[in-house]
Amino acid sequence: MLPLFALGLGLTSHIAFFNNGEHHLSALFYLKIFTSINLALVVCLSYALNVSFLTSSKLVLIHALTYLFSLFASIILYRVSPTHRLYQYPGPRLWKISKLTHAFQNREFNGYKNLATLHAQYGDCVRTGPSELSIIDPDSILEIHASSSKCTRAAWYSMAHPLKAIFHTRDRSEHEMRKRIWEQGLSQKSLRAYESRIVKHIDGLILKISTRSAAGEPMNASLWLNYLSFDIMGEVGFSRGFEMLEKGGKLDVLSILENGQKGLGVLGTVPWLFMLVTKIPMLKREHDVFVRWCEKQMLDRKKRKASAPDIMEALLEADTVSPDPIEAHQWLTGDSRILIVAGSDAVASSLAFAFYYLAKHQDYANAIRDELVARAKGTDLDAAMLQKDATVLNSFITEVLRLWPPNPSGFLRQTPKAGLHIGDRYIPGDVTICTPLWTLHRSPKCFVEPLQFIPERWTTRPELVLRKDTYIPFSIGAYSCIGKQLALMEMRLVLARVILQFEIGFAGTEGECRLLEDSKDWFTFGLADLMLRFERRGEERRGEAQSTSMYLSLPILIPALIDPLIRFFSLGPGLCVPENSTGIRYLILCAFDLGLAYMWLKMLWMGLDATQKWAIRSGLDLGEEKAKKDGRERRRVREEAQRMRSSGKQLE
Ligand code: HEM
């Protein structure tokens, strides 16, 4: 009788309870309740039936297992049965039964590749979970993501619980409120204020590249770009330098970030499991270290008065007016975490893939360089000019983000209660929809020659773009990337400055570079090594230009500069200022000499080609502070290069 009761209870709890609503936040609670009830039953039965604990335990265990068997059998049968609301959608059977299959398939952090394989096999709309579809139908994008869409964020986003953050907010109005606070630190005015501070860090990278290039050493661009984006994020996010570029591998911050993120690539596919794991002390250690580290950055910033504006400023201000201090703390910790991950990881990976294509396609690097030289017309490389005039550079970046969007597995939305019509397809309510960006951006329905890297599709060959509305590396609509303009500004500044000063090539052969094949999908990319060789363009050109200039101007410079001095100190007859020239006549002749020298130099300058001019300018334009230290710095670079050569030391 009792086993029958347990069977019935399993069936009923599935139909009446587990089959409705969301349960991912309560996994640990259910586990505790189930264990407690069974322990209580052991004790009660032992007293009620007057049997030993061992006997009552056996009895309870049999019935608990019967209950679980009935519950899971019912769940599994329903998920594959024709009565299931997603039955008509094709997909692998094991994925339909449980998202655990998805997690298992992602065990090598290859989530985006798994989704691409499924779409190749099953078409544009694949059932990737009991209640989940992955869709790359071009007609679905606006329906799912545009501001007018009725879809909201899926259960996946509440994984940071109990922390709160803009990225983890599912409620539209709450999200809108938080977004308004974030926008203050990312307005056009703020971006303009960040620019020079960002350039300072880019100069730091250029110095490192110069060192390596002078020593003839390759460098792991994946690593150094990570350091750079992390430093920039520290600067504009928290007004503090993490000094990653300076200290390099000596800091383990990146491994904290890496360990905190990794779990998402596998367990992120099963939100309830992720929540469970991040609640169990033994298992949540890595995750906790990461969250605590982010919290510490936020608390440090809270104590300091920043000398310049940053993104945290508005968030901290909102904190002071919040009525609930605990909730305010959760918001700040959660948002700091998002700022640290989103602000550094996505830019680093986009830049790494950009450098890969620069090394692979030297002709694009040359085209970008020529355009920058022509458009800038001798002015500085500021962000506004790059955004407006650097068409080739911008099309290059756009194409990199098409082929390698930093969130390759895309993002998840949930259909409204009433369901969603996409063309003649009906998707029931409360279904999770995944938009796998990597696969979508490579769909032949959206782009001609979709697997080829062709930046011209965004400029001179628009016929290669079939569906522009499917290009969404930053997402679109209410939940789209709030840091898009900051990210693009960083990318443009880094690429323009490096391309102007260096030739970029693979350290080995292109085939030896495994960036595209071996980078991991941790929701963002865990980058594989990208070993590049940089060759300074400015250095030898500047040398050339300067020595030619010195050589040609000597005949005029010597009399022009020395002669007046000779006359002034009455050291003897002048070379070209006549001996009897005094007073005003003397001054006029000196001015004439100097004017002549200036014209000579000007003519020399005009004789240089545009790239040589840029090389000289960018060499002189490494920031005020550095310009002062230039001589010292170059000596240091030479010495470091010498040391590395003699010891054969690899810094990475
Ligand atoms: C190339 C670089 C970047 C790319 C491709 C990118 C892409 C994205 C995407 C696709 C989303 C939406 C995800 C979703 O809805 O699930 C997003 C959200 C977000 N991104 Fe970025 N991102 C980049 C850089 C940045 C930077 C530099 C910041 C720094 C502030 C940033 C901050 C954010 C934030 C705060 C959100 C959450 C927005 C919200 O919930 O309203 N991102 N990003």
CB-based contacts of 104, cutoff 8 Å, min separation 6: none
Protein residue with its CA nearest to atom 27 in ligand 1:
343
Does residue 127 belong to any structural domain of this protein? no
Q: Is residue 598 part of a domain?
A: no
pLDDT score, position 41: 92
Structure confidence by residue, pLDDT tens digits, 33-68? 999 999 999 999 999 988 898 999 999 999 999 999
Pocket test for ligand 1, best of 183, 201, 481, 484 (most atoms within 8 A of CB): 481
**In the chain, what percentage of residues exceed pLDDT 70?**
83
Mean per-residue pLDDT, 556-574: 64
131 neighbors 98 (Cβ within 8 angstroms): no
Closest ligand 1 atom to 412 CA: 16
The pLDDT score that the predictor gives to residue 352 is 97
Task: Summarize the confidence of residues 343-365 as an average pLDDT.
Answer: 95
Amino acid making up residue 647? S
Confidence of residue 507 (pLDDT cuts 50, 70, 90): very high
* Interface TM-score (ipTM) > 0.90: yes
Residue of higher predicted confidence among 202 and 620: 202
Cβ atoms < 10 Å from Cβ of 257: 22
Mean pLDDT throughout 236-243?
88
Nearest protein Cα to ligand 1, atom 31: 483
Do 196 and 262 lie in one domain? The reply is yes
Looking up residue 350, the CATH number of its domain turns out to be 1.10.630.10
**d(CA 475, ligand 1 centre) in Å:** 8
pLDDT value, residue 90:
96
In this predicted structure, what is the pLDDT of residue 22?
85
Residue 524: φ, ψ to 5° = -100, 180
Please report the pLDDT score of residue 535 as a whole number: 92
- The domain of 242 spans 132-534
Percent of the chain with pLDDT over 90: 55
Ligand 1 atom nearest 157 alpha carbon:
16
Give residue 540's pLDDT band: very low, low, confident or very high (50, 70, 90). very low
The pLDDT value given to residue 195: 94
Q: How far, in Å, is the centroid of ligand 1 from the Cα of 168?
A: 12
Other C-beta atoms lying within 10 Å of the C-beta of residue 405: 26
150 in the same domain as 64? no
User: Final residue of a domain: which of 483, 510, 534?
Assistant: 534
Q: Above 80 in pLDDT, residue 319? A: no
Decide if 347 contacts 400 (C-beta within 8 A): no
Mean pLDDT score, 198-213: 91
Q: Confidence class of residue 318 from pLDDT cuts 50, 70 and 90?
A: confident
Examine the pLDDT at 561 and tell me if it is beyond 60. yes
Residue nearest ligand 1's atom 19 by CA = 481
Structural domain count, the chain: 2
Domain check: are 281 and 348 in the same one? yes
Q: Are residues 143 and 237 in the same domain?
A: yes
Interatomic CA distance for residues 479 and 466, integer angstroms: 25
Per the annotation, does 481 bind a ligand? Answer: yes
Q: In this structure, are 27 and 142 located in the same domain? A: no
Q: Is 541 inside any structural domain?
A: no
411-414 and 219-220 as β-strands: parallel, antiparallel, unpaired?
Answer: unpaired
Instruction: Quote the mean pLDDT of the chain.
Output: 85
Model confidence at 218, pLDDT cuts 50, 70, 90, reads very high
Beta strand pairing status for 219-220 and 125-129? unpaired
**Cβ atoms 135, 433 nearer than 8 A:** yes
The last residue of a domain, from among 20, 47, 80: 80
List the single range of 88-102, 440-454, 617-631 with lowest mean pLDDT. 617-631
Question: In the prediction, which pLDDT does 527 show?
Answer: 93
How far, in Å, from the CA of 483 to the mean position of ligand 1?
A: 6
Task: Quote the pLDDT of residue 571.
Answer: 57
Q: Domain check: are 251 and 321 in the same one?
A: yes
Does residue 257 form part of some domain?
Answer: yes
For the stretch 373-394, pLDDT in tens is 887 665 668 899 999 989 999 9
Q: Which of 534, 556, 580 is the last residue of a domain?
A: 534
Tens digits of residue pLDDT in 122-172 = 999 999 999 999 999 999 999 999 999 999 999 889 887 888 899 999 999
Residue 401 alpha carbon, nearest atom of ligand 1: 5
Confidence of residue 288 (pLDDT cuts 50, 70, 90): confident
Q: Is residue 564 part of a domain?
A: no
Considering the domain architecture, whether residues 138 and 246 belong to the same structural domain is answered as yes
The full DSSP string for 510-544 is: GGG--HHHH-EEESEEEPPP-EEEEEEHHHHHHHH
Regarding whether 517 and 415 lie in a shared domain, the answer is yes
pLDDT of residue 244: 86
Indicate if the pLDDT at residue 253 is higher than 80: no
Q: How far is the CA of 652 from the centre of ligand 1 (A)?
A: 29
Q: Is the pLDDT at 615 greater than 70, yes or no?
A: no
Residues 381 and 507 in one domain: yes
- Measured by CA distance, the residue closest to atom 23 of ligand 1 is 346
> Ligand 1 mean position to 521 CA, how many Å?
16
What residues pair up with 153 in beta bridges, in sequence order?
413
Residue 97 lies in a domain: no
Condensed to tens digits (0 to 9), the pLDDT of residues 272-283 reads 888 888 777 776
pLDDT surpasses 80 at 450: yes
Q: In terms of domains, do 386 and 506 share one?
A: yes
Ligand 1, closest atom to CA 411?
16
Q: Whose CA is nearest to atom 17 of ligand 1?
A: 481
Checking if the pLDDT of 605 tops 80, the result is no
Cα–Cα distance, 526 to 573 (Å, whole number): 73
Binding pocket residue ranges, ligand 1, CB within 6 Å: 166-167, 179, 338-339, 342-343, 346-347, 350, 405-407, 411, 473-475, 479-483, 486-487
Per the DSSP assignment, residues forming a β-bridge with 412 are 434
150 and 12: one domain? no
Residue 651 has pLDDT above 50, yes or no: no
Residue 273, pLDDT score: 85
Q: How far is the CA of 311 from the centre of ligand 1 (A)?
A: 14
Would residue 113 count as lying in a domain?
no
The CA distance from 586 to 288, in Å, is 78
The pTM of the full predicted model, rounded to 2 decimals, is 0.82
Q: Residue 262's CB: how many other CB atoms inside 10 A?
A: 19
Provide the terminal-to-terminal Cα distance of the chain, rounded to the nearest Å: 69
Are the CB atoms for 313 and 301 separated by under 8 Å? no
Q: Are residues 348 and 236 both part of a single domain? A: yes
pLDDT confidence bin for 468, thresholds 50/70/90: very high
pLDDT at site 611: 47
Task: Give 207 Cα–ligand 1 centroid separation in angstroms.
Answer: 29
Evaluate whether residue 53 is within a structural domain: yes
Predicted local distance difference test score (pLDDT) of residue 83: 93
Beta-bridge partners for 559: none
